[in-house]
Amino acid sequence: MTEAELPGLVHGVLWAGFALGALFGAVAQRTHFCTMGAVADIVHMGDWQRMSMWLVAIATAMLGFNALVGAGLVQARHSIYAAPTWLPLSNLAGGLAFGFGMVLASGCGSKTLVRIGGGSLKAVVVFAVLAIAAYATLRGLLAVWRVATIDTIAVPLPAGQDLPSLLAAAGVGPVRTLAPALAVALALALLVFVARRPEARQPDTWLGGIGVGLAVAGGWWATGHLGHVIEHPLTLEETFVGTQAGRMESLTFVAPFAYTVDWLILFSDTNRALTFGIASTAGVVLGSAAVALAQRTFRWEGFAGTEDTANHLVGALLMGVGGVTALGCTIGQGITGLSTLALGSFVALAGIVGGAVLALRYQAWRLERVA
């Protein structure tokens, strides 16, 4: 890799991020893919279609990522999710806050982008508040508090916190063999569960799940293989170009909100660069808008009133703080992180679902009081 070849490689990663984001946005708009909606459908109606879609997405992403591991194209240890220090309290507490917030805000970070593409002006407000809260939790006052309190509960591990690495450290076998085997076992269990349910007869269950899962797997390939530079021509260090932290990443929608706003505000600062996360964020909005316009479902939407505004503001705040604390959102931890089979992702996902159920119960209690 020469210095002259580097810009072309970076552009390739960025265009891949944009295209994968657009795929995600288009599929989510077309199939109504929504994690908050999936949990709400079960709690309120016992309907498992959107949850089945989410489980198919998890299975697809697991198979895709670990096939790349088995082929020697990527390694989980190069991602933030498989760090050898596990933060269980941060994963759980952050997940609870994010899950509660996404119900108040009518959807998670990815759904916010999809709703913006569909014409929701209140989703634009959620995006802005979530981005500011996330930035404050990444680098601001809230970051200082986070690091000094909840992040101090840390569990050092003998290897990366992904299950294949932990098993390999215990002498069970090599990571490149364990990763595909574990992924096939877990993905097969999820797919069998979905296939045995009546929702499996709905085409959108598979279209939405496979489409989202492939977008996540594609992100891992783009940043972890295409953008992998063993020896950077300037720093002479191993790096992953086109990403925020120089590590491989895939779709996630909390920190990229903060970096998107930062890039737009400080565009003339040459230290700010367009990244995979920013490109994928823009792609989701445009992919969603394209489908909404094609289906003639694009509608301008504003807040219904003061309480609706307050709920969305509080929800966005909780998602920004919780998502950074948990190291991801419903997509970032619930699918992207889970595809690496990382311990923290399983805990964060449990927290997100638990927080969403609590928020749904809270909303039902509020309605009963008003009635």
Please report whether residue 347 resides in a domain. Answer: yes
- Token pair listed for 142: 């809230």
The alpha carbon of 16 is separated from its chain's Cα centroid by a whole number of angstroms, namely 17
What pLDDT digit, counting tens, does each position of 56-72 carry? Answer: 999 999 999 999 999 99
The alpha carbon of 162 is separated from its chain's Cα centroid by a whole number of angstroms, namely 17
Average pLDDT over residues 26-52: 95
- Amino acid at position 337, single letter: G
Task: State the pLDDT at residue 1.
Answer: 65
Residue 47, CA distances (Å) to 33, 192, 279, 311, 335 in order: 14, 18, 34, 25, 21
- Give the residue numbers spanning the domain of 227: 6-370
What pLDDT digit, counting tens, does each position of 159-173 carry? Answer: 999 999 999 999 999
Task: State the pLDDT at residue 179.
Answer: 97
Largest CA distance in the chain: 68
The Cα–Cα gap between 309 and 311 comes to 6
Please report whether residue 239 resides in a domain. Answer: yes
Please report whether residue 83 resides in a domain. Answer: yes
The Cα–Cα gap between 25 and 113 comes to 8
- Token pair listed for 212: 């989202």
| pLDDT bucket at 345, cuts 50 / 70 / 90 | very high
Please report whether residue 317 resides in a domain. Answer: yes
Please report whether residue 159 resides in a domain. Answer: yes
What pLDDT digit, counting tens, does each position of 294-326 carry? Answer: 999 999 999 999 999 999 999 999 999 999 999
pLDDT above 90 coverage of the chain, percent? 92
Count how many domains the chain has: 1
- Amino acid at position 333, single letter: Q
The Cα–Cα gap between 200 and 48 comes to 10
Task: State the pLDDT at residue 234.
Answer: 67
- Token pair listed for 73: 């194209």
**Which residue, chain included where needed, has tokens 């293989």?**
225
Give the E-state strand segments of the chain in sequence order: 85-86, 155-156, 228-229, 239-240
The Cα–Cα gap between 204 and 363 comes to 28
Please report whether residue 80 resides in a domain. Answer: yes
pLDDT above 70 coverage of the chain, percent? 99
Please report whether residue 1 resides in a domain. Answer: no
Residue 269, CA distances (Å) to 11, 134, 244, 259, 263 in order: 19, 21, 15, 13, 9
Query: pTM value?
Result: 0.95
What pLDDT digit, counting tens, does each position of 193-240 carry? Answer: 999 999 889 999 999 999 999 999 999 999 999 999 987 776 768 899
- Token pair listed for 16: 């891949």
Whether the per-residue pLDDT at 134 is higher than 80: the answer is yes
Average pLDDT over residues 135-162: 96
How many C-beta atoms surround the C-beta of residue 85 within 10 A? 12
